[in-house]
């Protein structure tokens, strides 16, 4: 890997520090106009720097002298902030874990003397993918936030923190995430890791309502726990003779540090039993949920797991990780069926897809790894789009209940069409999500239990998406819904994302062949099943040829034909046994006894007794804990 040119150095600096500095300026800005300009500058800078860096190709960057001490300083600051929050807000578990972390830092420095290694930054294929997701999708979400927060400010509870602060954390998040995926030194990874945790804490608690505070505290507890686990993992890796880089950790045979870090990735990517913080995160304004769920935060966990995957492939650990991911996938897909809250459905779907990524990382064949990459990329785009759509719809109709979204197709055609495209992209060919799921199932043929869980989860996934999609495209709506009127930034962000979804869907084959599949083949060449996997991969490669193009052509052709067929068709009222009322042309109103109008209500199927959140979580969480404990059993610790 070539070492970095000066331009690349500056691009890295721009990617990490740029958003943070501009975010800080935006916080300090007096007028909304200045703030918006600064935020847009920050996002443009991030997006451009990300693309420029990706274009220039891989490199390795050894940071200059003195940065090692900066790392020590930052580490201390992070611990201090955690301690401060824990103490001030009386979140005692966080305070306790903060003390443990402080002890760890002190111990480490005493043990090793004053010497601290300078950080290394590397850009390989995996980090390129992540940088692109963060800097493009993340930036689009921030731009959306400008229009969204303008409205939100007027409706928000009086306790809300300032919008400037909100944007600081939002853009700062991007910078920290960029750092997280670019660094190769474990210590800096832990710093960025802690930084994203703190950012998410402030963002979730933005409205400062009791609920927001509670959920923010929960997110902090779980993620600081993960951070602590990461800290121990890092310390142990150093102790066992590692040189403090991630690549070294992957190569070393020591499993205990690996398990600790894997545990940290589970908390960050909200795997069961740690899922509750991500569900609580939806009290925050929509751009936050979009950011946490799609391009940042949860993707930090999946990224690190994928980074470490070659380290545990073929070991006992891998089976447990695969099982744990598949279990999360099946269970959360089931719970999503019973939810009527749109954001909650999205949240459970996020957790499910992250579970799929984890399962793929655990299976560890080249095919599974490329499946994980495909899901990672396409999920980021589609989920960002869906969250932004739900946020828009919620602002317009004042509800996030799925049943209330009936018929918005007629009142908000723009947003609804985009949302429909987003939902279709989550479950149908030729979009990447389905390709990913397909490859995941195909590559799990050797692990029967994982396979069964994936199969069940995949069937359940169709259920909740189809149900919801059917609800929004229907043509019966409440009378008080008004025609949408979106500010430019929201409209622009939605359009950009939907274009990315469609272009990504059309180019699934190209992206898979040129970028994802080669990466997976190289990374996972050590897998014991690599040979079997190559047979399957051939099948996928072939599908990426003419069959995929055929699907795209057929879909396009049908859309065209339907448009043509529309010309000579006549519209009639639906059949309501002859009792339609002229006034109720847009709802299920029919005439009943004494000619009085009666409105029929058709609810979606939820199956709450079967798939209810509380009922399932009650037994699923202990099971998930048990699976995680077997991680430690497997390496002989218990």
Partner 1 sequence: MNKLTLAIGAVVLAPFIGGLIQGFDRVLTARMQGRKGPPLLQPFYDILKLLRKERVVVNSQQILYAYMHLAMMVLALFMLFMGQDALMLLFILAFSTLSLVLGGMSVRSPYSRIGAQREIMMMVAYEPILILMVIGMYLVNGNFRLQAVFEAERPLLLSMPLLFLAYLTVVMIKFQKSPFDLATSHHAHQEIVKGLTLEFAGPCLGVIEIAHCYEVAFFLGLVGLFWLSNFWIAAVLMGGVFVLSLLLDNLCARLTTIWMFRFMWSVALGLALTNIVWLYWH
Partner 2 sequence: MKDKVRFDKSPWVVHFNCNSCNGCDIELLACLSPLYDLERFGIVHVGNPKHADVLVVTGSVNYRNARVLKNVYDQMPHPKVVVAMGVCAATGGVFRECYNVLGGVEKVVPVDVFVPGCPSRPEAMMDGILQAAAKLDEKRRNPDVPVAVSTDTVVRLPAPEAARPALPADTASALATPMEKIA
Residues that bind partner 2 (CB under 8 A): 570-573, 575, 577-580, 582, 585, 595
Tell me which of 19, 68, 407, 505 binds partner 1, using CB under 8 A.
407
Give which of partner 1, partner 2, none residue 555 binds (C-beta under 5 to 8 Å, depending on kind): partner 1
Dihedral angle sign, alpha carbons of residues 189, 190, 191, 192? positive
Contacts 24+ apart (CB under 8 A), 522-525: 523/126, 523/309, 523/310, 523/366, 523/369, 524/309, 524/310, 524/313, 524/364, 524/365, 524/366, 524/368, 524/369, 525/366
Task: Return phi, psi of residue 433, to 5°.
Answer: -60, -45
Partner touching 540 among partner 2, partner 1, none, CB below 5 to 8 Å by kind: partner 1
Which of these ranges, 104-112, 114-122, 253-261, 597-605, lies near partner 1 under the rule CB under 8 A?
A: 597-605
Q: Which is nearer to partner 2, 210 or 582 (CB)?
A: 582
Q: Applying CB under 8 A, which of residues 568, 582, 594, 638 lies at the interface with partner 1?
A: 568
Position 359 contacts partner 1 (CB under 8 A): no
Partner interacting with residue 578 (select from partner 1, partner 2, none; CB below 5-8 Å by kind): partner 2
| Contact partners, residue 561, CB within 8 Å, separation at least 6 | none
Q: Which of 493, 501, 495 is nearest to 144 (CA)?
A: 493
606's contact among partner 2, partner 1, none, with CB below 5 to 8 A by partner kind, is none
- Picked from partner 2, partner 1, none, the partner binding residue 561 (CB below 5 to 8 A depending on kind) is partner 1
Work out whether 456 is an interface residue with partner 1 (CB under 8 A): yes
Query: Cβ 407 to partner 2, closest distance in Å?
Result: 15
Among 21, 89, 214, 463, binds partner 1 (CB under 8 A): 463
Residue 361 CA to residue 302 CA, distance in Å, equals 9
Are the C-beta atoms of 440 and 356 separated by less than 8 Å? yes
User: Largest alpha-carbon pair distance within the chain?
Assistant: 90
492 forms part of the interface with partner 1 (CB under 8 A): no
Choose among partner 1, partner 2, none what residue 471 binds, the Cβ cut-off being 5 to 8 Å by kind: partner 1
592 binds, among partner 1, partner 2, none (CB under 5 to 8 A by kind): none
Provide, rounded to whole angstroms, the least separation between the CB of residue 546 and partner 1.
9
Q: Is 166 in the site for partner 1 (CB under 8 A)?
A: no
- Residue 329's contacts (CB-CB under 8 Å, 6 or more residues apart) are 352, 353, 355, 356, 359, 453, 454, 457
- Candidate residues 474, 534, 621, 630; the one interacting with partner 1 per rule CB under 8 A: 474
Q: Which of 253, 562, 614, 638 binds partner 1 (CB under 8 A)?
A: 562
Kindly determine how many residues on this chain lie close enough to bind partner 1 according to the rule CB under 8 A: 63
Does 576 contact partner 1 by CB under 8 A? yes
With contacts defined by CB under 8 A, name the span among 14-22, 208-216, 353-361, 461-469 that binds partner 1: 461-469
Name the binder of 434 from partner 1, partner 2, none, CB < 5-8 A by kind: partner 1
CA dist 527 and 43 (Å) reads 39
Closest to partner 2 by CB, 210 or 578: 578
Distance between CA 175 and CA 195 in Å, rounded?
10
Pair 591, 579: CB distance under 8 Å: yes
Q: Which does 442 bind (CB under 5 to 8 A by kind): partner 2, partner 1, none?
A: partner 1
Site for partner 1 (CB under 8 A): which residue of 141, 373, 434, 450?
Answer: 434
Q: What does residue 233 show for φ and ψ, rounded to 5 degrees?
A: -60, -45
Interatomic CA distance for residues 260 and 229, integer angstroms: 5
What's the Cα-to-Cα distance from 184 to each of 88, 181, 381, 536, rounded to whole Å? Answer: 34, 8, 26, 32
Q: Which of 84, 111, 398, 470 binds partner 1 (CB under 8 A)?
A: 470
Among 513, 521, 586, 591, binds partner 1 (CB under 8 A): 586
Which alpha helices (H) appear in 123-252, and where do they start and end? Answer: 125-132, 139-155, 163-182, 186-204, 210-239, 246-251
Least distance (Å) from partner 2 to the CB of residue 416? 21
Contact between 159 and partner 1 per CB under 8 A: no
- Our finding on whether 414 is near partner 1 (CB under 8 A) is no
> Which tokens is 288 given?
């936050």
Residue 474 Cβ, how far from partner 1 at the closest point, in Å? Answer: 6
Is residue 506 involved in binding partner 1 (CB under 8 A)?
no
**Spatial distance between the Cα atoms of 638 and 251, rounded to a whole number of angstroms:** 24
Alpha helices in 291-412 (DSSP H): 298-312, 316-337, 342-363, 366-397, 408-411
Closest CA to 297 of 375, 351, 246, 363: 351
Cβ distance to partner 1 smaller for residue 263 or 337: 337
Specify the DSSP class assigned to residue 295.
Answer: I
**543 touches partner 1 (CB under 8 A):** yes
Nearer to partner 1, 276 or 474 (CB): 474
Nearer to partner 1 (CB atom), residue 284 or residue 501: 501
**Smallest Cα–Cα separation from 376: which of 250, 230, 186, 512?**
512
Peptide bond just before 273 cis, omega within 30 deg: yes
What distance in Å separates the CA atoms of residue 206 and residue 288, rounded to the nearest whole number? 10
Alpha carbons within 13 angstroms on the beta-carbon side of residue 100 total 16
Residue 74 · residue 185 · CB < 8 Å: no
Q: Does 551 bind partner 1 (CB under 8 A)?
A: yes
| DSSP β-ladder status, 120-123 and 589-591 | unpaired
Kindly compute the dihedral angle of the four CA atoms of residues 239, 241, 244, 247, in this order, to the nearest 10 degrees: -130
Residue 540 contacts partner 1 per CB under 8 A: yes
From the list partner 2, partner 1, none, which binds 582 (C-beta under 5 to 8 Å, kind-based)? partner 2
Please give the residue ranges that form the binding site for partner 1 (CB under 8 A): 407, 427-429, 434, 438, 441-442, 445, 448, 451-452, 455-456, 458-460, 462-463, 466-467, 469-471, 473-476, 532, 535-536, 539-540, 542-543, 547, 550-551, 554-555, 557-559, 561-562, 565-566, 568-576, 586-588, 600, 602, 604-605
């Amino acid at each position: 890997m070539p070492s970095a040119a000066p331009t690349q150095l500056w691009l890295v600096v721009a990617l990490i520090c740029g958003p943070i500095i501009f975010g800080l300026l935006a916080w300090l800005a007096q007028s909304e106009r200045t703030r918006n300009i600064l935020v847009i500058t920050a996002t443009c800078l991030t997006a451009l720097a990300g693309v420029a860096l990706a274009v220039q190709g891989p490199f390795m960057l050894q940071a200059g002298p003195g940065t090692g001490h900066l790392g020590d300083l930052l580490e201390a600051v992070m611990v201090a902030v955690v301690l401060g929050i824990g103490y001030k807000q009386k979140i005692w578990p966080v305070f306790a874990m903060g003390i443990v972390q402080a002890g760890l830092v002190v111990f480490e420095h005493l043990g090793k003397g004053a010497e601290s290694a300078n950080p290394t930054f590397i850009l390989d294929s995996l980090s390129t993918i992540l940088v692109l997701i963060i800097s493009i999708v993340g930036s689009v979400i921030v731009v959306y936030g400008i229009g969204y927060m303008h409205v939100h400010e007027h409706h928000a509870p009086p306790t809300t923190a300032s919008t400037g602060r909100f944007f600081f954390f939002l853009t700062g998040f991007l910078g920290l995430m960029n750092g997280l995926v670019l660094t190769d030194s474990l210590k800096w990874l832990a710093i960025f890791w802690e930084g994203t945790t703190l950012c998410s804490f402030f963002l979730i608690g933005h409205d400062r309502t009791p609920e927001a505070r509670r959920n923010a505290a929960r997110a902090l507890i779980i993620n600081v726990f993960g951070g602590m686990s990461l800290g121990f993992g890092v310390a142990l890796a150093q102790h066992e003779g590692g040189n403090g880089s991630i690549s070294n950790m992957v190569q070393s045979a020591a499993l205990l540090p690996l398990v600790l870090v894997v545990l940290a990735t589970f908390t960050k990517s909200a795997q069961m039993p740690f899922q509750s913080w991500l569900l609580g995160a939806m009290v925050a304004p929509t751009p936050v949920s979009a950011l946490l769920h799609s391009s940042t935060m949860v993707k930090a966990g999946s990224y690190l797991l994928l980074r470490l995957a070659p380290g545990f492939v073929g070991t006992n650990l891998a089976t447990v990780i695969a099982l744990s991911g598949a279990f999360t996938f099946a269970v959360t897909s089931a719970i999503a069926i019973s939810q009527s809250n749109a954001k909650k459905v999205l949240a459970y779907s996020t957790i499910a897809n992250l579970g799929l990524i984890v399962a793929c990382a655990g299976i560890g064949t080249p095919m599974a790894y490329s499946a994980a990459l495909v899901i990672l990329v396409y999920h980021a785009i589609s989920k960002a789009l869906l969250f932004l759509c739900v946020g828009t719809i919620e602002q317009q109709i004042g509800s996030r209940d799925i049943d209330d979204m009936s018929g918005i197709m007629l009142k908000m055609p723009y947003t609804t069409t985009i949302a429909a495209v987003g939902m279709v992209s989550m479950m149908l060919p030729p979009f990447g999500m389905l390709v990913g799921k397909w490859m995941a199932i195909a590559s799990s043929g050797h692990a029967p239990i994982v396979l069964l869980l994936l199969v069940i989860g995949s069937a359940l996934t169709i259920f909740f998406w189809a149900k919801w999609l059917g609800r929004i495209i229907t043509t019966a709506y409440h009378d008080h819904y008004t025609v949408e009127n979106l500010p430019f930034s929201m409209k622009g962000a939605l359009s950009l994302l939907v274009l990315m979804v469609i272009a990504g869907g059309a180019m699934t084959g190209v992206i898979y062949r040129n970028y994802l599949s080669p990466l997976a083949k190289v990374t996972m060449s050590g897998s014991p099943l690599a040979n079997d996997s190559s047979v399957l991969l051939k099948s996928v490669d072939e599908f990426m040829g003419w069959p995929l193009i055929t699907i795209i052509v057929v879909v396009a052709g049908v859309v065209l034909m339907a448009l043509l067929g529309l010309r000579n068709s006549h519209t009639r009222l639906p059949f309501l046994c002859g009792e339609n009322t002229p006034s109720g042309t847009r709802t299920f109103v029919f005439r009943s006894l004494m000619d009085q109008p009666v409105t029929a209500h058709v609810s979606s199927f939820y199956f709450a007794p079967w798939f209810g959140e509380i009922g399932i979580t009650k037994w699923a969480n202990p099971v998930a804990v048990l699976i995680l404990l077997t991680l430690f059993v497997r390496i002989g610790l218990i």
